[in-house]
């Protein structure tokens, strides 16, 4: 018997992405789009019983770094494990196109340093079957994924392609350089780029310590590139900056938007040196938006923090001469040495090199990572507190934590959004109407940070589990990471559950949704290591009407494709 629909989801509590209260209903899907909502009498070729579950639009993560992984892998994990159905990469100005053959290693070293993706992984994994940015998009367009992928033109790659060594050395761009970059940017938008990303932060360096080529790019250069987007009539701007002088820096960004008319989003976080600076930026943002400028801030859902462990890029003993003797050993051999009483005693008596002494002042901010992670931890979970309670040294507590769980125990050091020991600043930022969730960095920092799980933190911690301050309403959080993030990057065909929209959906056991601790796997090219983090409670994730994950396990379906630029709303598509 012919079925009326490809998929019917029955009896779920539907949050439609518009921020209103949920309602119990059925959803019918046909040809990758939502066909009907209400009491569905026709049968589906496949059906999901969603009674007792919530149903949301698929999550749209607009700040990832899957630029390399998307060229060799079909699954954008860990993001896809957390209800994400659309990702945008090319953030922070780093990526792999445009790129001349002689610059391959240069861009790899940059990505290795900025996003902690090892050189051998990228060198082995990248096919380099492109030089121009349109050719890179064509390469991606030939592949299939478990999510839809949007790509942004990365400023660092663009600058190096146009200026060569002068660009690497951060020399000022000439008028001719700027004209060339603007022309490439225009062509990139016309060929399907979502936008353009750049970085102005000292934290972004190559693996050999050099600053990112875009760090000191002038306003004339940034404006010229933005005008390339304006000439194309499409594309968004993405910026990460230290905002050392937030008033001056924001004023420049505002002028770029005023001149080009292109939407811009920037990273907003609470830093330790100026913990109230984010309020200055929020006020400036509010004023700009009130003046009619299309600007947003991207806010992380929890502290951005480094993970430390014996399998990871760093741990508190990384700069101890004695530890260096065993650092390259396989984990089993390393554990045998560390569990030897004589070696342990010698290590604890050793002294770190100068650059490793900072850990001695960080014990009070270094938390023990549990199997069910707490991303708003209290002093009681710090190494310093535990050491004092046990009457031992912090080094002993840190070592014992890393030796736990078969040598896979981890330590967590928040360094952004936690200057005052709580997430109250994040609450203030994320409840501002001109901000959206972002900064997950999915696909990056594979040995230090694992924040692709931000969407799950938003659902669990902020709407259900938080005890140390106000929570957020569930309809608001769902709207923020579906409709609002999608529209921030020009994707108007998704993020809402309504007839005609993309059938990107999640069926979630909200009451039992659980985020698990990060762990290490060795599944990158050359057997490279990376951190992953899973969750339980995602009953089904659906991309373009196909079920891609059931209870966290991939189904084998890969309906995701490269997005060619922003997408119009269903009514606009119908009008065409």
pLDDT digits (tens, 9 = 90+) for 110-137: 999 888 899 999 999 999 999 999 999 9
> In 366-421, which ranges are E strands?
367-368, 411-416
Residue that is written with structure tokens 């002042």 in the block: 361
pLDDT digits (tens, 9 = 90+) for 226-267: 999 999 999 999 999 999 999 999 999 999 999 999 999 999
What does the pLDDT read at residue 3?
85
Q: Residue 37: which of 9, 17, 56 has the closest Cα?
A: 9
Q: Tens-of-pLDDT digits for all 576 residues of the chain? A: 468 999 999 999 999 999 999 999 999 999 999 999 999 999 999 999 999 999 999 999 999 999 999 999 999 999 999 999 999 999 999 999 999 999 999 999 999 988 889 999 999 999 999 999 999 999 999 999 999 999 999 999 999 999 999 999 999 999 999 999 999 999 999 999 999 999 999 989 888 888 999 999 999 999 999 999 999 999 999 999 999 999 999 999 999 999 999 999 999 999 999 999 999 999 999 999 999 999 999 999 999 999 999 999 999 999 999 999 999 999 999 999 999 999 999 999 998 887 767 776 799 999 999 999 999 999 999 999 999 999 999 999 999 999 999 999 999 999 999 999 999 999 999 999 999 999 999 999 899 999 999 999 999 999 999 999 999 999 999 999 999 999 999 999 999 999 999 999 999 999 999 999 999 999 999 999 999 999 999 999 999 999 999 999 999 999 999 999 999 999 855 544
CA dihedral 450, 451, 454, 455 (to 10 degrees): -70
Sign of the C-alpha dihedral, residues 541, 546, 551, 556? negative
What does the pLDDT read at residue 129?
97
**Which residues in 286-306 are b (16+ Cβ under 10 Å) and which e?**
eebeeeebebbbbbbbbbbbb
What does the pLDDT read at residue 479?
98
DSSP 512: G
Q: What's the token pair of residue 545?
A: 């009407």
Residues 6+ apart with CB under 8 A from 121: 68, 446, 524, 525, 526, 528
Pairing relationship of beta strands 33-38 and 148-154 according to DSSP bridges: unpaired
Count, residues in the chain: 576
Domains and CATH numbers, the chain: 5-59+502-515+535-575 (2.30.40.10), 61-303+419-488 (3.20.20.140), 307-416 (no CATH)
Q: Residue 542: which of 144, 4, 7 has the closest Cα?
A: 7
Q: Residue 252: which of 221, 289, 213 has the closest Cα?
A: 221
Q: 394-407 and 331-338 helices cross at what angle (nearest 10)?
A: 140
| Cα–Cα dist 444/117, whole Å | 6
Q: What's the token pair of residue 527?
A: 């057997």
| Cα–Cα dist 403/306, whole Å | 18
What does the pLDDT read at residue 145?
98
CB–CB of 256/222 below 8 Å? yes
């Amino acid at each position: 018997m012919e079925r009326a629909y490809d998929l019917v989801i029955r009896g779920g509590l539907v949050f439609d992405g518009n921020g209103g209260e949920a309602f119990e209903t059925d959803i019918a899907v046909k040809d990758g789009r939502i066909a009907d909502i209400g009491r569905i009498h026709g049968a589906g070729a496949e059906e999901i019983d969603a009674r007792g579950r919530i149903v949301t639009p698929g999550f749209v993560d607009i700040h990832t770094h899957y630029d390399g992984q998307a060229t060799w892998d079909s699954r954008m994990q860990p993001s896809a494990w957390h209800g994400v159905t659309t990702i945008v990469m090319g953030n922070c100005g780093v990526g792999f196109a445009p790129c001349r053959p002689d610059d391959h290693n240069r861009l790899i070293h940059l990505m290795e340093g900025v996003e902690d993706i090892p050189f051998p992984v990228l060198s082995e994994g990248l096919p380099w079957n492109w030089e121009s940015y349109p050719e890179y998009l064509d390469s991606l367009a030939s592949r299939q994924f478990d999510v839809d992928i949007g790509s942004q033109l990365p400023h660092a790659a663009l600058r190096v392609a146009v200026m060569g060594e002068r660009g690497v050395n951060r020399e000022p761009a000439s008028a001719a350089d700027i004209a060339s970059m603007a022309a490439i940017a225009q062509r990139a938008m016309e060929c399907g780029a979502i936008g353009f990303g750049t970085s102005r932060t000292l934290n972004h360096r190559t693996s050999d310590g050099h600053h990112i080529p875009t760090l000191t790019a002038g306003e004339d250069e940034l404006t010229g590139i933005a005008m390339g987007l304006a000439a194309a009539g499409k594309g968004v701007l993405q910026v990460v900056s230290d905002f050392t002088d937030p008033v001056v820096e924001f004023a420049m960004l505002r002028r770029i938007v005023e001149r080009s008319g292109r939407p811009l989003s920037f990273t907003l976080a609470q830093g330790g040196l100026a913990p109230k600076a984010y309020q200055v930026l929020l006020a400036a943002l509010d004023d700009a938006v009130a003046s009619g400028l299309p600007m947003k801030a991207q806010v992380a859902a929890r502290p951005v923090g480094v993970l430390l462990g014996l399998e990871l890029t760093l741990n508190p003993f990384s700069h101890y001469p004695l530890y260096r003797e065993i650092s390259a050993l396989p984990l089993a051999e390393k554990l045998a040495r560390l569990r030897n009483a004589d070696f342990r005693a010698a290590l604890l008596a050793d002294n770190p090199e100068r650059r490793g002494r900072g850990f001695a002042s960080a014990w009070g901010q270094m938390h023990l990572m549990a199997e069910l992670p707490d991303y708003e931890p209290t002093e009681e979970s710090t190494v310093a507190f535990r050491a004092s309670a046990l009457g031992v040294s912090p080094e002993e507590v840190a070592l014992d934590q890393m030796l736990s769980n078969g040598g896979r125990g981890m330590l967590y050091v928040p360094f952004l959004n936690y200057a005052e020991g709580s997430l109250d600043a994040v609450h203030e930022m994320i409840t501002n109407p001109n901000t959206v969730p972002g900064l997950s960095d999915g696909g990056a920092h594979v040995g230090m940070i694992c924040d692709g799980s931000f969407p799950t933190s938003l659902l669990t911690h902020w709407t259900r589990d938080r005890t140390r301050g106000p929570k957020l309403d569930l309809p608001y959080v769902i709207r923020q990471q579906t409709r609002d993030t999608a529209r921030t990057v020009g994707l108007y065909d998704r993020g809402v559950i309504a007839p005609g929209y993309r059938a990107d959906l999640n069926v979630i056991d909200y009451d039992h949704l659980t985020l698990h601790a990060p762990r290490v796997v060795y599944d990158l090219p050359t057997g490279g290591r990376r951190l992953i983090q899973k969750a339980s409670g995602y009953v089904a994730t659906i991309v373009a009407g196909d079920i891609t994950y059931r209870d966290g396990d991939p189904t084998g379906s890969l309906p995701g494709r490269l997005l060619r630029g922003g997408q119009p709303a269903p009514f606009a598509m119908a009008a065409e």
